[in-house]
Chain A
Amino acid sequence: MHDAFTIAGREFGSRLFLGTGKYDTFETMRDAVRASGAEIVTVAVRRIDFDQPGEDITSFLPDEVLLLPNTSGCETADEAVRSAKLARAGGLPDWVKLEVIPDPRYLLPDPVETLKAAAALVEEGFTVLPYVLPDPVLAKKLEEVGCATVMPLAAPIGSGRGLKLRDSIRIVIEQAEVPVVVDAGLGAPSHAAESMEMGADAVLVNTAIARADDPVAMAEAFRLSVEAGRKAFLAGVMEEQEATPSSPVGGTV
């Protein structure tokens, strides 16, 4: 069965997005991207430090993956719009993972500034994928201003705590008419599988893979868990119920 996953008219075979942060080396990151099967990978945008320019990360990424610039580091809508415009002008795709995070401790996104930036960027012709708390009302408003997805967080960035906001994410999924990508806080493949079983369209993983003892093997584990979770969702996960025997009750020997 063909199970298309489409964002803004573009079809993807993989439902796992990868972040490129926190890998020990670009080589490991490249191998993890390959093992994950990801077709969308995020990058940040930063000023070049001419004393330590380092290497160009994009030269390590497979040509066929879609680079998704984020607006990390931006604390206001204006900063995020500026960052996105700079990335697009410089030749990066006109897709943007919109992050507006004024809070350095919990790294939680600002819903008001995110909505403002999203509306401005859609107006400018961007395909906008906003990173948000799983607030169902906000998610609908983002959809209404033309966002291509919503990306609710499972738990704070880098925390690996899994679906702490499960019930809110469930409502976002139930109401969404754009793809829902669970982003941030997924620490284990089981968290990714559960997200997909709930009906998420995709997940984004970074730290759990990048900081694993073996990131390449963990990338494959997440690939398999996303595929398993998606297949289970389509197959129809059973409702919880009272105990019922699986074997015949009578005729025991």
Chain B
Amino acid sequence: MTVEVNGREHELDPGETVQSLLARLGLEAGYALVERNGEPVERARYAEVELADRDRLVVARPVAGG
């Protein structure tokens, strides 16, 4: 299946979760803020939210700012 992360397509195996995707992207540590199909995903649910084909994800993080 294919999901879009920050505008770029990723091929994933069925059954992947938000958490396993973040691990694949090297983002297990620190903050990774996730929006799935326009809705924010609670951090506590990253491990249980399974991704579906054609999901559109935004992955953000805190950065320097005033």
Contact = CB atoms under 8 A, between A and B. Distances in A.
A70 interface: yes
A173 interface: no
A212 to B, nearest CB: 15
Interface stretch (A4-12, A14-22, A109-117, A142-150): A14-22
Interface stretch (A50-58, A174-182, A225-233, A238-246): A50-58
Interface string A204-216: 1011000000000
A153 to B, nearest CB: 11
A57 B62 contact: yes
Interface in A7-59: 19-23, 26, 29, 42-50, 53, 56-59
B37 to A, nearest CB: 13
A89 B40 contact: yes
Contacts of B42: 89
Contacts of A82: 35, 40
- A90, A204, A206, most chain B CB atoms within 10 A: A90
Given A59-B30, A89-B40, A89-B41, A43 B35 contact: no
A48 B40 contact: no
A19 B62 CA distance: 12
Given A70-B65, A72-B65, A86-B58, A47 B6 contact: yes
Contacts of A26: 64
- Category for how many chain A residues contact B: 35 or more
- Category for how many chain B residues contact A: 20 to 34
A157 B32 contact: no
Given A46-B61, A50-B6, A70-B66, A58 B30 contact: yes
A26 B65 CA distance: 12
SS class, residues of chain A in contact with chain B: mixed
Contacts of A42: 65-66
B40 to A, nearest CB: 4
A122 B49 CA distance: 27
A21 to B, nearest CB: 4
B6 A90 contact: no
B43 interface: yes
B64 A21 contact: yes
A91 interface: yes
A46 B40 contact: no
Contacts of B27: 48, 53
